[in-house]
Copies of this chain bind each other. A is one copy, B any other.
Amino acid sequence: MGADKNTDILIAHGIRPTANRILVVRALLAADRPMSLTELEHKILTLDKSGIFRALTIFRDNHLVHVIEDGGGSARYELCTSDGEADDDLHVHFYCESCHRTFCIDNVPVPAVSLPRGYRPESVNYMFKGQCPECSGK
């Protein structure tokens, strides 16, 4: 194992741990909610958005991040908590239409449904839209 936790995460997923990729992993770890490309761009000032995008693309292909579409017209990325390709750490998300943040409802797993014959699902996304606790009280 390497000396750095973020480095280990990358290596464990078969991704070469370059300096930029470690920055992206760190930013995702520090965030407590799924981040959009633009949000990451503002958070990682030393790295161009195309660099972040390419890192995220690799992460997605190597099952290191989930991609979810919120209702705000942009994709969001969050680190997978499970190892491997199972993607079995899925939980419900909530997009607040007032503050435009996307929350993880960590303790609410995505309920399973069975699909008709022939469909081969590879990922699933259960997303609410509405008012978050902070905004619904205002």
Chain A residues within 8 Å of B, Cβ to Cβ: 67, 69-71, 73, 75, 92, 94, 97, 105, 107-108, 110-134, 136-137
Contact = CB atoms under 8 A, between A and B. Distances in A.
B120 A131 contact: yes
A129 B131 CA distance: 26
23 contacts: A69-B70, A69-B127, A71-B125, A110-B126, A113-B126, A115-B128, A116-B133, A118-B132, A118-B134, A119-B128, A119-B131, A119-B132, A120-B130, A120-B136, A121-B130, A122-B129, A122-B131, A124-B126, A124-B128, A125-B127, A125-B129, A126-B127, A127-B127
A129 B125 CA distance: 8
